[in-house]
Amino acid sequence: MNFGAGVPTVEVTDLKDDDFLLDVREDDEWQAGHAEGALHIPISEFVARYGELTEAAPQDGRVHVICRSGGRSAQVTMYLVQRGIDAVNVDGGMQVWAATGRPVVTDAGEPGHVL
C-alpha cells in the first residue's frame, strides 16, 4: 500500500527485537495474535487513550506503528508525527510480520495468528 510521501515507513525486516511497537488493531485481532511486547491501543480508542502511549513510549525513541496491513497504522503514524512524535508506519503490518517468520503470540504466550 502506498500512502504517499508524507507517511514515514519502515520495513518489518528492518525492525530490531527491542524496537517499541504500537499495535492499533482492534481487540479481536489482538487476541488472535500479536507481536510479543507490543503496546495495544486500538485505533477506535486511540485519541482517548493517547496518554498510555506517551507514558509507555521511550522518551527519545521511535514509535513503530502496526496494524493488519498498514492502513490504520498509517493514519495513527500521521497523527503522531503531527504531534512531534518520532513515529513510523510498519509497511505491510502484521500480515508481513507473520509472513517473514516473526513470532505471533496470544496473551497466554501461545502461538497465535493474524486475523
Contact call for residues 16 and 78 (beta carbons, < 8 A) = no
- Tell me the Ramachandran region of residue 62: left when phi exceeds 0, alpha when psi lies from -120 to 50, beta otherwise: beta
Cell of 66: 502496526
Q: Scanning the structure block, which residue is given the C-alpha cell 521511550? A: 58
Q: Which residues are catalytic?
A: 67
